[in-house]
Amino acid sequence: MDRTHIPPFYKSLLDIWQTEQAIKFIKETFQTELSGELKLRRITAPLLVSEGTGLNDNLNGTEEPVRFPLKTLDGKQVEVVQSLAKWKRYALWRHHIEPGMGIYTDMNAIRPDEITDNLHSVYVDQWDWEKVILPEERSEKTLRRCVKSIYYAIKRTQFLLSERFPELPPFLPHDIFFIHAEELRQQYPDLNPKERENKIVKQYGAVFVQGIGGPLGDGSIHDGRSPDYDDWSTETGPGLMGLNGDILVYNPVLDAAMELSSMGIRVNPQSLQHQLEQANAIERASLEFHKLLLDNKLPQTMGGGIGQSRLCMLLLRKCHIGEVQSSVWPHSTRRKCTEADVFLF
């Protein structure tokens, strides 16, 4: 199945070598802005983790990671990471990071079950970040403040890029709009989640959808989330509070919503137990990572991932993620792009 779509009359605003220079500029600039905003230190991250530790990201719970035996471990299986959502929290504990401080890293992952299209690749590159917070900071206020900091880092990167490349003027709105996934469902009850995202993002330009992973009012979920890192927190008191969510922006080239980041305040022992039960995944409680968390040994944290290639694709006005990263694509995708004079790395 080929889901690649080349918009009519699309033409890249930068040539190949300008694109390479701009990618480098965006990556260097944004990680400086992000680390300054959130007080993050850069650390080195793994490509492989041991199977059975619970450190690999299960994503929606159905994707199978790349795994293979290692001779140096007497044939024990290792897995290529799908993301570092849980490894980062473990690293904060090992590095004894104090509250208010955190870490970020270049995360390179392989997701073999991914269906490729304009936005999706089997190769994933993110800035993965995580910071320690106090238990009393587990709140919607803390989450929203952090979302705004990340969005402003994106905005500053966009502005500095436009000074370097005048053919790429800024287009993102001044502020980001917040809405809970249940409120979004009620606003557009006849649409599916992706259609709702397109509607709300076309209206506001930049949106943070909260409460992703937990059940909504009609029993559905907005999108899948592994139960053992983000806190889904659904209804509390008279209102709705979601302690996680996605940063979405309007992509003018594709005329659609584009997810740049998935992030949230992480589970504590109580919410982990509850979410494992909800997801029928209570067997994970016996894994090394989960036992540390349930025993209250790991720090309370918040964190997320920000797509490197996606940010570059957005700011450089590219129509396909393969224009800013080198990966493997179906023959039909390469043919479509060649016919439309779209250069895939």
Q: Which of the residues are catalytic?
A: 57, 111, 126, 246, 259, 262
Neighbours of 238 (CB within 10 A): 5
Q: Beta-carbon neighbour count of residue 135 at 10 Å?
A: 9
Distance CA 28, CA 269 (A): 37
Asked whether the CA dihedral 125, 86, 206, 158 is positive or negative, the reply is negative
Sequence-distant (≥ 6) Cβ neighbours of residue 72 within 8 angstroms: none
Distances from the Cα of 220 to the Cαs of 46, 71, 192, in angstroms? 35, 44, 10
Amino acid in the structure at residue 112: P
**Facing residues of 262 across strands?**
246, 305
Q: Which two tokens stand for residue 323?
A: 């224009």
What the block records as the tokens of 144 is: 């929203």
Residue 298 CA to residue 267 CA, distance in Å, equals 11
Task: Encode 83-141 in three state secondary structure.
Answer: CCCCHHHHHHHHHCCCCCCEEEEEEEEECCCCCCCCCCCCEEEEEEEEEECCHHHCCHH
- Six token digits for residue 227: 């139960």
Identify the three-state secondary structure at position 193: helix
